Amino acid sequence: MKAKLAAGNWKMNGLSGDLIEIETLIGGLSASECDVLICPPATLIHRMHDMAIGSDLLIGAQDCHPELKGAHTGDLSAAMLADAGATHVILGHSERRADHGETDAIVRAKAVTALERGLTAIVCVGETEAERDAGTTLAVIGTQLCDSLPGSSVAAHVVIAYEPVWAIGTGRTPTLEQIAEVHAFLREQLTDRFADEGNGMRLLYGGSVKPENAQAIFALANVDGALVGGASLKAADFARIVTALSDAK
Ligand code: PGA
């Protein structure tokens, strides 16, 4: 049975003083029955990794370069992130697609490199509000999924996060029916392409997940966890989401 995953995305938040949140989170983790991951800014990966030694907390990154080394000032390779202690990397988050013009082809190239270096890739897909209003949600997500995932994807090292762009950081979420519809579609696409491996890939929902709505979202079929932004910054909030996931189903 696949382990559920509660993943926190700190985005461009987090200074040394915020490491206290990680200490608190680790202190409360013992009873957790799901995988728990925090993806801090790269500057904190190594320190969080050291803090997490001996605990069940996993540490990940928020992006990597498609190449393993070379003349790319300011970028970080999958090998560097793994060397710093990351086991996972978020790829193709809508903020990177928007801020850095990341295409599906770029996301796929990054995923290939991440997998080669032993990192688990959390590949993000999601529609804009205009696309949802136009009724093209499934078409958009289907294309992103198909073109962002490498053929080498396996259940143990690829996670998909469905994150409607309009739900990120807004406090708005799709209805439970809308989340269930997209997750069922993703599962179908993955099993069509990867057979059993696709059936085993974890599907996370992301976009304004809070302690208050987590339980209802986690009760849905084909929801294997969450990618959490704002509510992962405070240990108390994230711990409640972890508990909701551990208790689900
Ligand atoms: P949010 O962000 O939980 O703050 O909406 C989610 C994400 O962007 O991964």
Instruction: Convert the pLDDT of each residue in 192-247 to its tens digit.
Output: 999 999 999 999 999 999 999 999 999 999 999 999 999 999 999 999 999 999 99
Q: Which residue range(s) make up the domain with 234?
A: 5-247
Q: Is the CB of 237 under 6 A from ligand 1?
A: no
Closest atom of ligand 1 to 206 CA is 6
Q: Tens of pLDDT along 85-97?
A: 999 999 999 999 9
Task: State how beta strands 57-61 and 35-39 pair.
Answer: parallel
pLDDT (0 to 100) of residue 175: 98
Confidence of residue 77 (pLDDT cuts 50, 70, 90): very high
Ligand 1, atom 6, lies closest to the CA of: 229
CATH number of the domain residue 53 falls in: 3.20.20.70
Q: Tens of pLDDT along 26-37?
A: 999 876 689 999
Ligand 1, atom 7, lies closest to the CA of: 229
Mean pLDDT, the chain, rounded, equals 97
Report how far residue 141's alpha carbon sits from residue 126's, in angstroms, rounded to the nearest whole number.
Answer: 6
Q: Does residue 93 have an active-site annotation?
A: yes
Distance 45 CA to ligand 1 centre (A): 19
Report how far residue 154's alpha carbon sits from residue 70's, in angstroms, rounded to the nearest whole number.
Answer: 28
Ligand 1, atom 1, lies closest to the CA of: 229
Distance 190 CA to ligand 1 centre (A): 23
Report how far residue 218's alpha carbon sits from residue 4's, in angstroms, rounded to the nearest whole number.
Answer: 10
Residue 156 phi, psi (nearest 5): -70, -20
Confidence of residue 1 (pLDDT cuts 50, 70, 90): low
Q: Is the CB of 189 under 6 A from ligand 1?
A: no
pLDDT (0 to 100) of residue 30: 72
* Residue 176: how many other CB atoms lie within 10 Å: 14
DSSP letter assigned to residue 126: -
Number of separate domains in the chain: 1
pLDDT (0 to 100) of residue 32: 66
